[in-house]
Structures are given as structure tokens and as C-alpha cells.
Chains A and B, each alone.
Chain A
Amino acid sequence: MEAFSFGSYYPGDSAVHRLDPRTKLLLGFAFLITVLTVGSFCGLVPVAMFVVLVYVVARVPLRRVLSSMAPLLAIVVVVAVLNLFSDQSGRILWQLGFLQVSEGSLRSAAFVACRLTLMMAGMSAITLTTPTLDLTAGFERLLAPFARVGLPAHELGMIMGIALRFMPQFATEMKQTADAQASRGARVTGGPLGGVRMLGSVAIPLFTGVFRHAETLSAAMDARCYHGEQGRTRLHALAFGRGDVLAALAMALLVTCVVVINLQLF
């Protein structure tokens, strides 16, 4: 069977790995906002330094980082190309009909590309150092305060966890069904009608499979005494530690740097 790997967790035991997932999620959010407020190349320098620092501390090899970001780089390219035609200040360098590229647009495209890449690198640092289950647990706990206004935080976390658990399962099943139908002559390239038939012949067994799984899974969860959040404990209780404080301080430093640079320039 083909290996299917979801997420991009890189196992390790560094200080970054050991951070509480809630810290990582909150700081990740702060990081995104900070990077979005950066207005110049100069402001991106401390951001880049921060990202490099995180990866060095996490001891994730460069190759692994690049391979986890590779699929996202397509987005960077698309956004950068779009930006080429937006800002039209400065000398015009190239023109074809109504399309033109100027110095300003070139600079803005490069800036947007750098900013996006750094944002993705920062976010990848979270998914690379945190198992998906810990992420959902952190997510669940962060949403817990909203439970009072009716937000089903625990259920959302549970749903995310189970979805992640079954993702590779469904990928395997889809491959098996597609193989079986292909053995009966189904082709995606058999014209629009053949395409629709092929899609149905794979999608319907997949859906019936989902329901079959859901039925047994719910019985299996019942059999293991699942009854919602009430009175539930955790194998790994989440707890903030010294590392989390240090991480927060590092993030505060980054925010200060960016703010200072932004103010100087305006």
C-alpha cells in the first residue's frame, strides 16, 4: 500500500516541541498579525531572524522545512504574479497591451512574496513540531471559554481529532475503490459522461463506507464509556511551563522590533 502521511509532524524533543500547543496556537496568531502589519523590507528582517531562530531551536532540518512548504509555494507564486500588475508607480519596465510591469510593481511583488513565504514558514514551524492531536486538544482548550455562550468546544475538538484519524483511512479506501472500478473499465478520461460515471462509482461506495465506519465507531466509543466532556480526564494534561513564558517573551520582542521599524518609517 502506498504510504499516506497527513500533516507534516517532525518527531523531536526540542524546546519548541515541548511548548504547550495553546502557546503555539496563540503565538502563531500573534505572529500572523505582526507579519501582516510589516510595511517594508526592513521590517521583514527581524521576522526572518525570528523564524530562523525557531527552526534552529526546534532542530528541524532545512530539507524537511522546504519539503513541507513546497506545495504552498505555488500560492506565493500566484500572489506575486498578481501583484506584478497592481502597483504601477515608478519607471515602466515592460509593456504588452494593457499589461505593464513597473519598478514599483516589481518591488511590491517581491515584498509580498517574501512576506507570504515567511508567514508560511512560521506556520509550518507549528505543524512540524506539534502532533495533530495535540493541536486539536489545544484548539479545544482555547475555545473552552466560549462554551458558556453555547460553542461546543469539546465536540469540535473531538470532531477534528476523529477527522484527522480517518483521513488516511479514507484516502486508502478511495484508492482501492478507484482501482476496483478502473478494473471494470471506468476511466476519468472517457468524455464528460464517463467522468461523471466514474466519479459516482467511486464517491458512492466511499460515502456508504463513511456511514458504515461511523456506525461501528460510535458503538466502539460507547463501549469505551464515551459520554461527552463531563468528568473526562486526559493522558497528557496541558500545562504551561517556563518554555512558554520564554516563547511569549521572544514573540513580544519581535512585535516590539516590528512596531519600532514601522513607526520610524512613517
Chain B
Amino acid sequence: MIECRGVSFSYDGAAPALDGVDLNIEDGEFFCILGGNGSGKSTFAKHLNALLQPDAGTVRVNGMDASDPELVYDIRSTAGMVFQNPDDQLVATLVEDDVAFGPENLGVPSAQIARRVREALKGVGLVGFERHETHALSGGQKQRVALAGVLAMEPRVLILDEASSMLDPRGRKGLMKACHALHNRGMTIVMITHFMEEAAEADRVAVFQAGRVAMLGKPEEILTRADELAQLNLDMPVSCCLGRALREKGVSVCAQVREADMVAEIAQAYAERSGTDIAGQPSASDSHVLDNGSSAADGIAASEPVIEISHLSHSYSLSARERRRWRKRSTTADASSKQALWGNDPNSPWALRDVSLTVRRGEFLGLAGHTGSGKSTLVQHLNGLIRPQEGSVCALGLDLSNKKDAAAVKAKVGVVFQYPERQLFAETVAQDVAFGPRNLGLPQDEVARRVASSLARVGLDLAAIGDKSPFELSGGQQRRVAFAGVLAMEPEVLVLDEPMAGLDPAARRDFLGLIDRLHREGLTVVMVSHSMDDLANCCDRIVVMNEGAVFAEGTPAQVFAHADELKSIGLGVPAAQRMALALAQAGVPLRCDKLYAVEALADELAGLLLGCADVPLRVPCQAGSKAPTREEGC
């Protein structure tokens, strides 16, 4: 379907972005392209639909030469492309007009456009959204509209350029589901991604590095090569890590790239060893009651609270009088009885509803919840950007309903918003970092001291980059500068909203390390994240938000013991825990009352499979009635 021969390309004529790429993609294939930031994968994708022309070499799409200007629109309608950012690829105000944009450009007659729009929206599961305004949709819905806009051109190849990287787990899952459905109907799919779990589902995988294809083959060949992947700024899928860890301990299992296969293989090995077929063995399920609020980690509970939120409610749409009336009504009627089954109740006017929460000094608190669960509104309350309408917020002993105190707290509670590099504005890095301290009215030498020290804390050197424009830096460095800008306020509490969004696996690890170091230096950290693995690894305590209310609270082990409840609100559990639960479901006697990391899980499985005496056998337990499936969290 797509044939690339020696494709080379350079943006500036000097540094090559692509350097002799040879690649064939077959008709009907699900092809995945991996690579670190700046490895040339997006540049390559733009060659596949003639958005860029190669400096050397040829690209042929369905037999058409992409460099032939006559064929440009044939190629672009054959190979449709969905871009990364859901906010800037939609052209029209209304969904149906946006989906119609492609066929309109192709000169398709009106009646046929209407049919194509209908079918495309059906294909992505957005029937009934025709007259909705595009800006009011969620990120995942916007990406599916973009996908429908491409489908309406009736392409044969679909190119997704990191299309899922800016979505929350639920949005990503919806987009992947739509892609797999299309693939099953014969669409060729070329997917560029940072997520190894997505790559594991592909037919073939190519890994790019410095404009070249570094590795090419089936996922099970590529994704199991840990050392090479690490060199290319990538990770193995968690299931492979588990498989490898088991092999190192002498268990004879193959590392599988798909979690379900890994689970099946381990269960099989266990069944063979114990000599009985125990798959599907039923076991008593004791459903836990979610422990709300009462279960802070013991060591942390002793330290003093830095932020105390009590009975906080916030509504963007209701006036004070309407809020009172609403409250009266909800106390008489049972409010919980009519909650929406999936997602937010669109009629609920509450962004936050009776939230009580304590952040304690020195802790690392995780905040989870899908888009629209009230996380962002909560974050804005933490440093007084929004003053409480109902209930109270006390930070560092100051009541934030007081305007003066709210201003004072801003310096003490630093907030790093999503994509903080977008807020850089000054001429030089040093000036940008100095913005905060200057606003505090500090003397010159103190400002200079803080600029140097905060840049050092994020691993940057003032002498080397202080006089550069922030816009010259790489994406990762820009984000570090933005971090430094908040740290220069010398806050006692650092609030991070999705600090790792859009980074490749290696950069993610660097940033997690950075945040962990800041925490160990004594900062209280509150981190909002969609990645359950990151939350489980770093946090002392996790708060899960749903529909503006606190859904669960506790240590990672306590929160993630409730896989089914989390799944019901569109969240998953960390991959290792997910596999442990699936194994328990398949009859492997793992105890599920604690949180597994990959190493611990491998240790325990090795004990079971090799028959070590020091791991006592326990009755298999289940956290709920249904086994989590592997799509979860993908």
C-alpha cells in the first residue's frame, strides 16, 4: 500500500530529519511507529500524504508517486491523517460541518456528503452529535470527530500522528476502539505512538531513531529487546518486564507483549505445575466498601496539615441563590440515586460537590480522575485562584475566602499547570524565571539568587542557558524552565497538573525523577495524573475524583485494591496490579490485598512456579466479580 525508498528530508538543509528511510506498509496492515521525541516519526508521517516532499528518494501510496503534483489530492484522500492536538485540527464550529470539510474540498455532491457524514460519525460512535459545537466536546470526542473528518474522504490508509497522546485514559480507549474496528473492516492503519501497550496490538512495529528505521518487525520481536529499546528512549510493555523478570529467576516462560497472553502463559505454567486444571475456578468475592477519608497512611497522618479543604462545593453556572435552592432540594431527594452511569451527568451544575480533603506536610499526594471529574477546579482552589463559594479552604493556616490571604497563599502554593511551557513569555530564560520573585517585590540580589537556585533544582545551568530565549530550547528544557519559574517563588507546596503529558518514555522517567527529588528535598507535592503506574510508584496517598466528589482516598494499595470500582468510573489500575488480578482470576493463588510492583509480582510468581517454600500459598482472592480485561487503561 505504501512504499518508501531511501526517503531523506531536512527542514533547514543541514540537519537531516529523515535519513534514507526504506519501509513498506502492506494493504490492511496495522503498522505502528515508535521513537523518542525528535526521532523523525512525525516528519515521516507527513511524507505519507504528501504534506512534505522528500529531498531524495520516493514515496508511493497505492501506486501513486507522492511527488507528482497532479496526484496530491488523490493521495491525501487515500491516506488520511489525524494529528496530535485535538484543539487545532477542527475547522468548523459544528461537528457535521467539520466532518463534511474533506468531501466538500473534494467536490463531492451535497447528497453524497450527507451520507458520508452520517456513516463517518457512525464509524466513530458519535451519532447524534451532528449539531454539537466542536469546542464544547471532550478531547477524546474531538479526536474522534477529526477521525470522522478523515473517514468522510473514504481513505484506504489512516495515519494517526500521536493522536492519543493528549487524551485521558478513557478518551484513548475510545479512539483505539474506533481504530481497531476500522482495521477489522480492512483499513490500513499507520499509528505513531509513545504507548507501548498500543504498539503491542499492532501487526508490525518500526522504531525510529535520528531519522532512520532502527528496528523493524513483529511486536513480539521488537518490544522484548529491553536494552536496545532503552537506548532508543523507549520502554518495554509491563508484561514483557514481568516475563523477563520471571526468566531471570529461572521460570521458563516467554515474555509476551500483550498482557492477556502473558497472564495466560503464567496461568498455564502454574496449572501444569500444580497438576490440576484450576482455570475458571470460582472463589468467594468479598466486595469492599470504599474507605472514604478515614484511611491516611499512618506515618503521614501524624504530620501537620498544610491545606485543609472542608465541604467545598463549586458551580460555574449557578448563582448563590440557585445554589442554596439546589442544596435544599438535594437533601430532600436522594442525590446519589440519579447519578449518570458513565461520565458526568451533563445536567449536573456542580464542578465540585462537598469535597473534604487534607494535604499534609511532606507528603506526595496523587490526584486521579478522568477529564471533567473536577480535578482542575480543585487545583485552582488550592492556591486561591478560585475562592470557595461554599465550604472552606485553609492553606498554611490562612483562610482562602479572604482576598488578602488568598494573594499571600499564591506564593506559598506553587501550581504548575498542564503544558507549562506554553506560558513562557520573556525574552530570556532568566527573565522568565525571575517573573515570579519580581512580582513578590523582592530585592534584585534575592531575585538573582532564586533564579540561579531554581534553575539548578530542575537540572539546568543558568550560565549556559540564562541568556537564551526560552523559545530556542527543546520541549523538555522549556518545561524545566517553566518548573523553575514556579520553584523560584519558593513554595512550600508544589501542585502539578499532568506534569508528564506529551513526553516520551525516557523524558517521563527524567521528570518523575525530578519531581521525586523535589519531594525528598522537603516539598509537599500534589500531582494530578492520568497514569496509574506513575501514581502508584510515587505517591504516599491517592485521592480519586469522580463527578466533582471524592470517590476514594487512601494509600495506593488501598485505592488500587478496588479495580472494578475504578473501572466503573473510567479509570484503571497499574499494569502490574492489573496482571496480578487477572492471574488471581485465572486461579493463580496470589494475595490481592496489597499493591504489586513488577518486581514483587515476579518474586511471588517465581516462588509459586518454582515451588519455593518461603512463599506461603493462600486461598485465591478477588477484588470484585469481574476480571479486568487488558483493554483497560490502554
* Extra 16 A-B pairs, beta carbons < 8 Å, given A185-B411, A235-B104: A3-B317, A177-B423, A184-B486, A185-B489, A186-B435, A203-B425, A216-B83, A217-B91, A220-B146, A221-B91, A223-B49, A225-B76, A225-B105, A233-B108, A235-B110, A235-B114
> Which residues in B have their C-beta under 8 angstroms from that of A219?
46, 51, 83
Range class of the A interface residue count: 35 or more
Residues A181 and B423 in contact, CB atoms below 8 Å apart: yes
Assess the A220–B380 pair: CB atoms within 8 A.
no
Q: Which residues of chain B have a CB within 8 Å of any CB of chain A?
A: 46, 49, 51, 73, 76-77, 80-81, 83-85, 87-94, 96-97, 100-110, 113-114, 117, 131, 134-136, 146, 149-150, 153, 316-317, 376, 380, 383, 385, 407, 410-411, 414-415, 417, 420, 422-426, 435-436, 438-440, 471, 485-486, 489
A–B Cβ pairs within 8 angstroms, 6 of them: A3-B317, A165-B92, A177-B422, A185-B489, A225-B77, A225-B153
A35 to B323, CA, bound (A): 43
Are B91 and A165 in contact (CB-based, < 8 A)?
yes
Cα–Cα distance between A99 and B113 once the two chains are bound (Å): 65
Q: In the complex, A162→B89 CA distance in Å?
A: 11
Could you give, for residues 204-217 of chain A, a 1 whenever the CB lies within 8 Å of some chain B CB and a 0 otherwise?
11001100110011
A133: B residues at CB distance < 8 A: 92-94, 97
Chain B neighbourhood of A177, CB < 8 A: 422-423
Is there contact, CB below 8 Å, between A179 and B425?
Answer: no
B424 (CB) vs chain A CBs: closest residue = A205
Q: How far is the CA of A138 from the CA of B103 in the complex (A)?
A: 20
Asked whether, in the complex, the Cβ of B107 is within 8 Å of the Cβ of A184, the reply is no
Q: How near does chain A come to B437, taking the closest CB pair, in angstroms?
A: 8
Confirm or deny: A150 has a beta carbon within 8 angstroms of a beta carbon on chain B: no
Residues facing B in A143-196 (CB within 8 A) are: 161-162, 164-165, 168-169, 172, 176-177, 179-187, 190, 194
Nearest A residue to B109, CB-CB: A233
A220-B89, A234-B110 in contact; A184/B76 too (CB < 8 A)?
A: no
Q: Min CB distance, B42 to chain A, in Å?
A: 10
Task: Count A-B pairs with CB separation below 8 Å.
Answer: 166
- Taking CB atoms, residues of chain B closer than 8 Å to A233 are 103-104, 107-110, 113
Tell me, yes or no, whether A242 is within 8 Å of chain B by CB: no
Q: Knowing A180-B420, A236-B110 touch, does A225 contact B94 (C-beta < 8 A)?
A: no
CB distance from B430 to the nearest CB of A (A): 15
* A3 CA to B108 CA, complexed, in Å: 35
Contact of B88 among A1, A172, A217 (CB under 8 A): A217
A172–B438 alpha-carbon span in the complex (Å): 26
Contact A183 B414 (CB under 8 A): yes
Q: Is the CB of A205 within 8 A of B153?
A: no
Which residues does chain A contribute within 8 Å of B110, judged by CB atoms? 233-237
Q: How far is the CA of A182 from the CA of B423 in the complex (A)?
A: 11
Shortest Cβ distance from A172 into B: residue: B135
Report the nearest B residue to A190, measured CB to CB: B439
Check B422–A185 contact: CB distance below 8 A: no
Q: Does A91 reach chain B (CB closer than 8 Å)? A: no
Do residues B417 and A220 form an inter-chain contact, with CB atoms below 8 A? no
A204 to B113, CA, bound (A): 40
**When the two chains form the complex, which single residue of A194, A204, A216, A227 contacts B85, counting CB atoms closer than 8 Å?**
A216
From known contacts A1-B376, A183-B410, infer whether A165 and B93 are also in contact, taking CB-CB under 8 Å.
yes
User: Judging by beta carbons under 8 Å apart, are B76 and A224 in contact?
Assistant: yes
CB within 8 A of A201: which of B51, B131, B425?
A: B425
Docked CA distance A118–B201 (Å) = 63
Residue from B80, B87, B153, B414 with most neighbouring chain A CB atoms (10 Å): B87
1/0 per residue, CB under 8 A from B, across A226-238: the answer is 1100011111110
Tell me if A105 counts as interface (CB < 8 A to partner B).
no
State how many angstroms separate the Cβ of B523 from the closest Cβ of chain A.
16
Selected contact of A176 from candidates B97, B108, B149, B417, CB within 8 Å:
B417
Q: Which residues of chain A are within 8 angstroms of B87 by Cβ–Cβ distance?
A: 169, 213
Q: Is the CB of B423 within 8 A of A180?
A: yes
A223 adjacent to B76 (CB under 8 Å): yes
Which residue of A165, A212, A224 is within 8 Å of B102 (Cβ)?
A224
Bound-state CA distance A223–B83 (Å) is 10
Q: Give A25 Cβ to nearest chain B Cβ, in Å.
A: 18
- With contact pairs A212-B88, A223-B80 given, residues A184 and B436 touching in the complex (Cβ less than 8 Å): yes
Cα of A3 to Cα of B106 in the assembled complex, Å: 35
Are B92 and A161 in contact (CB-based, < 8 A)?
yes
Q: Which of B92, B417, B439 has the most CB of A within 10 A?
A: B439
Q: Are B425 and A200 in contact (CB under 8 A)?
A: yes
Q: Which of A1-37 contact B (CB under 8 A)?
A: 1-4, 11
The smallest C-beta distance from B311 to any residue of chain A, in angstroms, reads 22
Which of chain B's residues have a CB closer than 8 A to the CB of A187?
Answer: 407, 439
List 9 tightest A-B contacts by C-beta distance, closest first.
Answer: A185-B439, A220-B89, A204-B425, A235-B100, A184-B436, A213-B88, A224-B102, A231-B107, A168-B135
Whether B51 and A161, one on each chain, are in contact in the complex, defined by CB atoms closer than 8 angstroms, is no
Q: How far is the CA of A222 from the CA of B52 in the complex (A)?
A: 11
Which residue from chain A places its CB closest to the CB of B471 in the assembled complex?
A: A208
Residue contact A165 to B90, C-beta cutoff 8 Å: yes
Q: A165-B134, A169-B135, A232-B104 known; A184 and B93 CB under 8 Å?
A: no
Chain A residues near B414 (CB-CB < 8 A): 183
Contacts of B131 in A (CB 8 A): 11
- Which residues of chain B have C-beta atoms less than 8 A from A164's C-beta? 93
CB-based contact A223/B439 at 8 Å: no
The residue that A232 contacts in the complex, of B91, B107, B415, B471, with Cβ under 8 A, is B107
Q: In the complex, what distance in Å separates the CA atom of A246 from the CA atom of B435?
A: 62
Residues of chain B within 8 A of A161, CB atoms compared: 91-93
Which chain B residues lie closer than 8 Å to A208 at the CB level? Answer: 422, 425, 471
Q: Is B385's CB under 8 angstroms from A179's CB?
A: yes
- Contact A223-B81, Cβ < 8 Å, known A231-B107, A235-B114: yes
Interchain CB contact (< 8 A) of A224 among B84, B101, B436, B489:
B101
- Select from chain A the residue with minimum beta-carbon distance to B80: A223
Residue among A165, A216, A222 making CB contact with B76, cutoff 8 Å: A222
